Chain A
Amino acid sequence: MTEQTQAVENSSPSIGVSIFRIISGVLGHFVVKRFLFFLFVVWLASTVIFIIPRLSGQDPVKEKLLLEAQRGGAMQTGLDAMAKSYQKRFGLDQPMWVQYTNFVTDLAKLNLGVSIAFFPRTVNDIVFESLMWTLGLMGTVTILAFILGTLAGAILGWPRKPGWLQYVFMPLLTLSAIPQYLLGMILIFAFAFKLGWLPLFGGYAPATMPNLSFSFIVEVLRHAILPAFAIIFSSIGFWAIGMRGMMINTQGEDYMIQADAKGLKGSRIFMRYAVRNALLPQVTGLALVMGTIITGQVLVERVFSYPGVGDILFQAIRLSDFFVIRGIVIVIVLGIAGATFLLDVLYPLLDPRIRVRNS
């Protein structure tokens, strides 16, 4: 009996301690830490997003109705009552803390509310649809430009490159001095307007309905070519110049001299010693750019009337559709915070020096 109690007494705190250890171990794990930080950033940013429009003292519903009323030239009687009923519909008549609680709960459920301008479509619906277009084009193109630019920079920064390469790459890099939207307009003028090879605007031909048929996919790709080139040509130089600088820096490192002294093959020194080390800051750059691609190309999307987030944001601002603007801003916050989180988690795999030890 006494032995049993003793055993229980001995074991119970140890179970408690071990559960505590597991919990603190999980919380202490750097991935979990980074994820909690990610949630914190999203919460903080969305709170700011919640507060700022309310500080302005503007009433989006009333403003919208006033605008419509002016346009229609209608009498303003009953406008206040109408505004009240809409405010009730959007929950804007509630006390501030209730609105905030609702906002945060909705956000946690990833429910971004209902659009004012495109009522009754939900913001989720609008943002998601345009996000597909943006991610599909901009995501692919950004990664492509990163790969091509980094490769070009790596070769340009390599002292044993063939001399003529200098004369091929360097003029290409000057394209990065031209703003993307301007390059876009030049491309539209040349290839769509003058030559008529490619469509002028849009994500697909106006008459077609989006589906998964082969001809529609070809249509989408044809529409994507010009905006893709506008972005690739103007951002290749950005990646190439950064990479070239890092490659030249790497040349001065002791391990590069030692790699030569080890009698390694040129190709191995290039890839495993020079590029591998020069790539590290590039990857940081890529993660940060990926976080901002959603908004980074507003002007390009505008120029090509591409149905992406940038285009929707532009329309939402013009129509003062606060809920869509807010939804897009939250998606941007999620994008940047998410990219930073991914970078934090993946970077240690690339650079062993910053690997956090869990001991």
Chain B
Amino acid sequence: MSTEQAIQTYREGARITDVDALVIEGFSVYYETDAGTVKACDDVTFTLKQGERFALVGESGSGKTTLAMGLMRLTRPPGHIASGSVTLNGRDVTKLSDSEMRKTRLSELALVPQGAMNSLNPVMRIGRQIIDGILDHLDEDAGVPTKDELQETVRDLLIRVGLRPGVARLHPHELSGGMKQRVAMAIGISLQPNLIIADEPTSALDVVVQRQIMQTLGRLQEGLDASIMLVGHDMGLVAQFADTIGVMYAGKLVEVGPVEEVFSEPKHPYTTLLIRSLPSLQEKREFLGIPGLPPQLIHLPQGCAFADRCPSRFEKCDESIPQMINLGGRRKTACHLYEGEGQS
């Protein structure tokens, strides 16, 4: 997927509103180990508008999934949320009680998991797995829906994600990877959440199915007027799907901006190299990578984490960690090169 193509397929008429759906401020998830603290996700700040499709990209280990899991408070020990706030629909989810958090999951904040290969209970029928989520989020005052009502709901959900209703009676091992991913989406939308976190929903699927899955996900999101946070490393897919892109490197968010602008004019040197490394159909050239390796999250340098691999490195990069600079027009980057251009 070349940059030009990507911009062409950028969706028309995105219904991004001005309402804040998710405000993340200074959010950090640390893992305490014997060797020291691993800052898997460090001081991340960004905002998602209602109806927006936000893609979080970065290489493996950059903290994307840690961030996504942290937002849902599903971080497992020794990991913990070290600081920051996550405001979803006006409430800070980091301050909710465990039982309030449980009720918030799925009803306001749904996860469409990675791969969906093993994310379904192997010994339970699909219909039952959809119903479970609904049953555990009933209002105490409202009565329990009848079996027929629940079956009707399951039927509707399966049709909406493009499966035949008969799938409800099957077990996960009887479905293909694409079908399982669709079931995962059906569960995700079962309570009409306003935020769907899709964690690499198309990994382990072939490209044709990937496309169908992303189209379905987009259609569902528009139907619900929900926002999506897509976590992934497939830049082509992100370019086609998302409105906004956030680039993560070594646990930090280094660049945020509208997809077409970031692709045509990346600011952070890491983003530049990442986009340049994408193979292009237009020109045949050497396969470009980014020299070096990301730093170990347990021994982060004093300055910028990318400095060692950065072609534009200068003295300041080793001295201090660059802060997020607002470049105007919804564009932000955390790089010392742009310090003079900041807008408030």
Contact = CB atoms under 8 A, between A and B. Distances in A.
Interface string B112-126: 011101111111100
B210 interface: no
B121 A273 contact: yes
Contact of B72 (A261, A268, A280, A352): A261
A9 interface: no
A260 B76 CA distance: 11
A258 interface: yes
Given A261-B105, A261-B113, A253 B118 contact: yes
Nearest to A255: B121
Interface in A341-356: 350-353
A276 B125 CA distance: 13
B104 to A, nearest CB: 7
B173 A352 contact: yes
B120 A258 contact: yes
A261 B123 contact: no
Interface in B61-95: 72, 74
A263 B123 contact: no
Nearest to A267: B136
Nearest to A258: B119
A109 interface: no
B136 A277 contact: no
Given A263-B105, A352-B173, A268 B121 contact: no
Interface in A220-276: 253-255, 257-265, 268, 272-273, 276
A229 B202 CA distance: 55
Contacts of B122: 255, 277, 351-353
Interface in B94-134: 102-107, 110-111, 113-115, 117-124, 132-133
Contacts of A353: 122-123, 171, 173
Interface centre among B74, B117, B132 (most CB of A within 10 A): B132
Contacts of A272: 121, 124, 132
A276 B113 CA distance: 22
Contacts of B74: 257, 260-261
Q: Is the interface of A mostly helix, strand, loop or mixed?
A: helix
Interface in B6-29: none
B278 to A, nearest CB: 29
A194 to B, nearest CB: 48
Interface in A317-359: 350-353
A258 B111 contact: yes
Interface residues of B, number: 29
Q: Is the interface of B mostly helix, strand, loop or mixed?
A: loop
Contacts of B107: 263
Interface centre among B105, B121, B187 (most CB of A within 10 A): B121
Nearest to B115: A254
Contacts of A268: 132, 136
13 contacts: A254-B117, A257-B119, A261-B72, A261-B74, A261-B106, A261-B111, A263-B102, A263-B105, A264-B132, A265-B136, A268-B136, A353-B122, A353-B123
Question: What bracket does the count of chain A residues touching chain B fall in?
Answer: 20 to 34
Contact of A255 (B102, B118, B171): B118
A292 to B, nearest CB: 27
Given A261-B111, A353-B173, A277 B121 contact: yes
Given A254-B113, A257-B119, A352-B173, A264 B124 contact: no
A88 B104 CA distance: 84
B30 to A, nearest CB: 20
B316 interface: no
B105 A262 contact: yes
Contacts of B106: 261-263
A262 B187 contact: yes
Interface centre among A258, A276, A353 (most CB of B within 10 A): A258
Given A258-B111, A261-B105, A351 B133 contact: no
A351 B123 contact: yes
Interface centre among B104, B110, B113, B136 (most CB of A within 10 A): B136
Contacts of A259: 121
B219 interface: no
Interface string A269-290: 0001100110010000000000
B299 interface: no
A264 B133 contact: yes
A262 B188 CA distance: 8
Given A258-B119, A261-B72, A276-B124, 4 more contacts: A258-B113, A262-B187, A263-B107, A353-B123
